[in-house]
Chain A
Amino acid sequence: MTGGSGDVGERWDGAAMAPTPMGPTAMALTVRGIVAGYGHEPVLHGVDLEAGPGELVSVLGASGSGKTTLLRVVAGLHRPRAGSVHLGADDVTAVAPEQRGVGLVPQEGALFAHLSVARNVGFGLAPTGRARLRRTAAATAAARARVGELLDLVGLAGTADRMPHQLSGGERRRVALARALAPRPRVVLLDEPFSALDAGLREQVRGEVVAALRAAGSTAVLITHDRREALSVSDRVAVLHDGRVEQTAAPRELYATPATARVARFVGDAALLPGRVRGGEVETVLGRSPVRAGAATGAVLAVLRPEQLRIAAPTGTGVAAEIVDVEFLGDALLVTARPDGGPAVRVRAPAGEPWRPGERCRVAAAGPVHVVPDR
């Protein structure tokens, strides 16, 4: 598998193909009203989640938001107090994990340390119980072929006889994925599979894993706390906060038109400026800007991403501001400027521009602005 970064860009096309509203039976995974927890306090308070066939849905949340509990409920490892889990048309809420047909890729892979790579991948193919007695040579050969197929898929064809401790961190994740995919699960669940890798390797392994998932055509749910990860690989992202889904949307939509101030902040850098919507325009400390269609009215917060703002010399357009801080990012500058009488905002400017802290400037918003209710 080549798995370069080319495969990993934002999946705009995926978003465009996002399934049009279908009945629950057409969904590969349908989670409805899940309430679950440990001890007395529930961790999840009525969570809904859907994934269409072949779709990769991310569940994005901070630690403690309940995303791992949600995954365990879907896998059947944790019994919810209320709500239902459907795989296709089948209600599996009370079905034991071994009969559900879900694949699980835990953090760091959790390979079986006593088994070779091939036996790890073949673990879910081995007949169990009474079927063991009736195992045929054909079935064994088929299982072996399937293991080889999956090792090819994840680009680890030569490692069949190695033991888990002889693999790198990235290889372990890919073996874990191959193991999960082997019995052709109806949905694959990935629990922060890349979080313990260091930054450079993480993107590479992520690319490889997502490419393998796509190649297998699997429906997948990816749990993550990394917004860039969620935005770059998913068809849709569900933002989970305090055991509730705040918004589910395609990555681009989520970034451009977050439903709440919290989602706006969580999925990217943004200044949230209080303002009022009147006649298709919002008035903030940065002046009047057109609002995007279908926005909230009355008292709102305008969501201004750094790349939506423009910075100009004091003689230019926009409101007068003072530069507080300049952060050099290599390919750009992140300028923190405080408009007179307002809170500081961050502006993305070309790397070559000579902005310095303490200087005066002008700041303006470019194009229509998204607003969220001010609560």
Chain B
Amino acid sequence: MLRRTGPAPAAVAPPDPPGHSVPAGPAGRRAPRLLLAASVGVAAAAALPLVWLLVRVAGADPGRVAGLLARGRTLTLLVNSVLLVACVSAGCLVLGLATATLLARVRLPRPGLWWVLAALPLAVPSYLLAFAVLAVRPDARGLAPLVLVLVPACTPYVTLPAAAALRAADTGPEDAARTLGRGPLAAFCRVTLPQAVPAALAGTLLAALYTLSDFGAPALLRYESFTWAVQAAYEGTVDRTGAAVTALVLAALTLLLVVAERAARRRFTRGRATSAVHRTPPAHPGRAGTAAAVGGLSAVAALTLVGPPAVLVGRIVAAGGIDVDWARLASAAWSTLLLAGAAGLLAVLLALPVGVLAARHRSRGAAAVESIAYLGQGLPGVVVGLALVFFSLAVLPGLYQTAAVLVFAYAVLLLPKALGATRSAVERVPVEAEEVARTLGRSAAGTWWAVTARQAWPGVAAGGLLVTVTAMKELPATLMLRPTGVDTLATRLWAETALGAYGAAAPAALALLLIACVPAALLVRAGPAREQER
């Protein structure tokens, strides 16, 4: 599964945990019926894959389901996944906290650049990193190379919130600890670092969620994780009950992580006690310290950002030029663009009613609807893909393996991104401005067009763009749902790699890397750059 098709993009467009607050702000504004009805419809669409998976498993022979659950393979998969998640999480936590400390507390040359470099790996799909590893060492397989790929890929989930927390942390207690006889490092570690730990742990849960949902990297590196097992069961057997049961277990695990992450974030945001915040200026590490810090940060960045394209170009050179079927690549690029563009459009259309409802008409019902719309965040691409295969076969056989079902799958998977962007864009438009427009003679709908939409559209559009570029990189759902004969860049890469044709796969991989730069550019403009200005 691809970068960002599963876990929350906390670093890009932090979606507020839905339902985190009971009516506040513009309470008492009852939602228009039409808006409410549309939102409920969207929630139903978002819930469809999970519900249908449940229906499918419930409709299967209970004895068979129990047998599938109880067999040794389930346990093997569980152990494998837990082991993988534990290794990646631990690695991300350590690396992320260290990076965050450097970013927030050490004076580095070009500070903005390091924030960007620390965030960028988020945009690179992990299967590209795995592909780069394979291109160098074709025999790489198993836990160790997979952890090596996933740790740098997932570390930004920890780094960004932890660095933000460190930056916002009150260093007054640290100053007090110094005057009470602690050294600078001891004071930092004992007093200030703990302030960033909750944020880091919430980020670690996101990394764990991503790891558990990831399909491409484990599959390429032949590690038996849940996602790979679902895909294998789907491809390999006629009776797909096995795939359905495995997918359901996986969905249960990932949703558990989502719930844990929300709870952690809620506790974290509630935990700030002081209102007066002291800030310590970044420390001067000295010449050697600076060199070490810059070296460390550069090495991690190089591994994820420079490594893959360098390997790919090297591959092309080693193959003595490119022997690529350009027509096929171009048609794959074109279908990728069309499918992902449609997905972005659909996701925005779905996100609009729910986003407006959440931003302007908060209530328990609205919070519930929003939570359901966020389901895609916790559902791996394989799960959504499989569920929609079942659904289209059983209910709408005419649509099976059509672009419509694939676009719908993208939209449901990536709806949280569009929703977070839409909600925060609408929230940023002051309610007072809307009220003034009303007193100046505009109806509710007129106000929406003349004031709210005009100010919110850049944020909403950015959300749609994010969905589009993310959909371009999606692999597992695409593999299951794509129309026969249609290829996307990701499936081209997948097919060539499976054949061991690394040179032939390189152009598709390079194209995907370029696409990955688009949200990175957005991220640079919206996230760390602004963070830097504070």
* Chain A interfacial positions (CB closer than 8 Å to B): 38-39, 72, 75-78, 96-100, 102-104, 106-107, 110-115, 123-124, 128-129, 176, 179-180, 182-183, 185
| Docked pose: A114 CA to B451 CA in angstroms | 8
Offer 18 A-B interface pairs, CB within 8 angstroms, sorted by A.
A38-B27, A75-B438, A78-B28, A97-B438, A97-B439, A98-B441, A103-B440, A106-B430, A106-B435, A106-B436, A110-B432, A113-B433, A114-B455, A123-B440, A124-B441, A179-B440, A180-B439, A182-B440
Tell me if B262 counts as interface (CB < 8 A to partner A).
no
By a CB distance below 8 angstroms, the chain B residues around A114 are 454-455
| Docked pose: A373 CA to B407 CA in angstroms | 75
Tell me if B442 counts as interface (CB < 8 A to partner A).
yes
Q: Is the CB of A112 within 8 A of B441?
A: no
By a CB distance below 8 angstroms, the chain B residues around A97 are 435, 438-439
| Docked pose: A97 CA to B440 CA in angstroms | 8
Q: Is the CB of B435 within 8 A of A128?
A: no
Tell me if B311 counts as interface (CB < 8 A to partner A).
no
Count of chain B residues with Cβ under 8 Å from any Cβ of A?
Answer: 19
Tell me if B184 counts as interface (CB < 8 A to partner A).
no
Tell me if B249 counts as interface (CB < 8 A to partner A).
no
| Docked pose: A77 CA to B441 CA in angstroms | 13
* Chain B interfacial positions (CB closer than 8 Å to A): 27-28, 430, 432-433, 435-443, 446, 450-451, 454-455
| 10 closest A-B pairs by CB | A124-B440, A110-B432, A106-B432, A97-B438, A104-B439, A110-B433, A38-B28, A98-B441, A114-B454, A110-B430
By a CB distance below 8 angstroms, the chain A residues around B450 are 123
Q: Is the CB of B441 within 8 A of A183?
A: yes
| Docked pose: A128 CA to B444 CA in angstroms | 12
* B28, closest chain A residue (CB): A38
Partner of B440, one of A38, A39, A113, A183: A183
| Docked pose: A180 CA to B440 CA in angstroms | 7
By a CB distance below 8 angstroms, the chain B residues around A176 are 436
* A182, closest chain B residue (CB): B440
| Docked pose: A179 CA to B442 CA in angstroms | 14
* B437, closest chain A residue (CB): A123
| Docked pose: A39 CA to B23 CA in angstroms | 10
By a CB distance below 8 angstroms, the chain A residues around B442 are 98, 128
Q: Is the CB of B439 within 8 A of A76?
A: yes
- Taking the closest CB of chain B, its distance from the CB of A97, in whole angstroms, is 4
- Taking the closest CB of chain A, its distance from the CB of B366, in whole angstroms, is 16
- Taking the closest CB of chain A, its distance from the CB of B217, in whole angstroms, is 43
Given A38-B28, A106-B432, A128-B446, A100 contacting B439 (CB threshold 8 A): yes
By a CB distance below 8 angstroms, the chain B residues around A103 are 439-440
* A113, closest chain B residue (CB): B455
- Taking the closest CB of chain B, its distance from the CB of A12, in whole angstroms, is 32
| Docked pose: A182 CA to B437 CA in angstroms | 12
Q: Is the CB of A104 within 8 A of B446?
A: no
Given A39-B28, A128-B446, A77 contacting B435 (CB threshold 8 A): yes
Say what secondary structure dominates the interface of chain A.
loop
By a CB distance below 8 angstroms, the chain A residues around B435 are 72, 75, 77, 97, 104, 106, 110
Q: Is the CB of B436 within 8 A of A98?
A: no
Q: Is the CB of B455 within 8 A of A107?
A: no
Q: Is the CB of B433 within 8 A of A75?
A: no
Q: Is the CB of A185 within 8 A of B439?
A: yes
Say what secondary structure dominates the interface of chain B.
helix
By a CB distance below 8 angstroms, the chain B residues around A185 are 439
Q: Is the CB of A75 within 8 A of B439?
A: yes
* B456, closest chain A residue (CB): A114
* A188, closest chain B residue (CB): B439
| Docked pose: A128 CA to B437 CA in angstroms | 12
Given A78-B28, A114-B455, A104 contacting B436 (CB threshold 8 A): yes
Partner of A179, one of B27, B436, B443: B436
| Docked pose: A110 CA to B455 CA in angstroms | 13
| Docked pose: A185 CA to B435 CA in angstroms | 15
By a CB distance below 8 angstroms, the chain A residues around B436 are 104, 106, 110, 176, 179-180
Partner of B432, one of A39, A107, A115: A107
| Docked pose: A111 CA to B455 CA in angstroms | 12
Partner of B441, one of A72, A75, A78, A128: A128
Q: With a 10 A CB-CB cut-off, give which of B435, B438, B439, B450 has the most chain A CB atoms.
A: B439
| Docked pose: A100 CA to B436 CA in angstroms | 12
| Docked pose: A188 CA to B301 CA in angstroms | 58
* A36, closest chain B residue (CB): B28
- Taking the closest CB of chain B, its distance from the CB of A125, in whole angstroms, is 9
| Docked pose: A217 CA to B367 CA in angstroms | 47
* A111, closest chain B residue (CB): B433
* B428, closest chain A residue (CB): A113
By a CB distance below 8 angstroms, the chain B residues around A183 are 440-441
- Taking the closest CB of chain B, its distance from the CB of A80, in whole angstroms, is 12
- Taking the closest CB of chain A, its distance from the CB of B259, in whole angstroms, is 29
| Docked pose: A144 CA to B316 CA in angstroms | 64
| Docked pose: A107 CA to B435 CA in angstroms | 12
| Docked pose: A248 CA to B74 CA in angstroms | 77
- Taking the closest CB of chain B, its distance from the CB of A222, in whole angstroms, is 16
Q: Is the CB of A112 within 8 A of B451?
A: yes
By a CB distance below 8 angstroms, the chain B residues around A38 are 27-28
By a CB distance below 8 angstroms, the chain B residues around A98 are 438-443, 446
| Docked pose: A96 CA to B435 CA in angstroms | 11
Q: Is the CB of B28 within 8 A of A77?
A: no
| Docked pose: A78 CA to B439 CA in angstroms | 12
- Taking the closest CB of chain A, its distance from the CB of B428, in whole angstroms, is 9
| Docked pose: A111 CA to B28 CA in angstroms | 24
* Given contact pairs A39-B27, A103-B440, A112-B437, a sample of 20 additional A-B residue pairs in the complex whose CB atoms are under 8 Å apart: A75-B439, A76-B438, A97-B438, A98-B438, A98-B440, A106-B433, A106-B435, A106-B436, A107-B432, A112-B433, A112-B451, A123-B440, A123-B450, A124-B440, A128-B441, A129-B443, A176-B436, A179-B436, A183-B440, A183-B441
Q: Is the CB of B443 within 8 A of A128?
A: yes
* A37, closest chain B residue (CB): B28
By a CB distance below 8 angstroms, the chain A residues around B443 are 96, 98, 128-129
| Docked pose: A226 CA to B182 CA in angstroms | 48
Partner of B455, one of A100, A112, A124: A112
By a CB distance below 8 angstroms, the chain B residues around A99 are 441
Q: Is the CB of A77 within 8 A of B433?
A: no
By a CB distance below 8 angstroms, the chain B residues around A123 are 437, 440, 450
- Taking the closest CB of chain B, its distance from the CB of A317, in whole angstroms, is 49
By a CB distance below 8 angstroms, the chain B residues around A111 are 433
| Docked pose: A176 CA to B439 CA in angstroms | 13
* B440, closest chain A residue (CB): A124
- Taking the closest CB of chain A, its distance from the CB of B319, in whole angstroms, is 52
- Taking the closest CB of chain B, its distance from the CB of A57, in whole angstroms, is 18
Q: Is the CB of A129 within 8 A of B439?
A: no
| Docked pose: A123 CA to B446 CA in angstroms | 12
| Docked pose: A279 CA to B446 CA in angstroms | 67
By a CB distance below 8 angstroms, the chain A residues around B441 are 98-99, 124, 128, 183
| Docked pose: A155 CA to B439 CA in angstroms | 24
- Taking the closest CB of chain B, its distance from the CB of A85, in whole angstroms, is 13
By a CB distance below 8 angstroms, the chain A residues around B28 are 38-39, 78
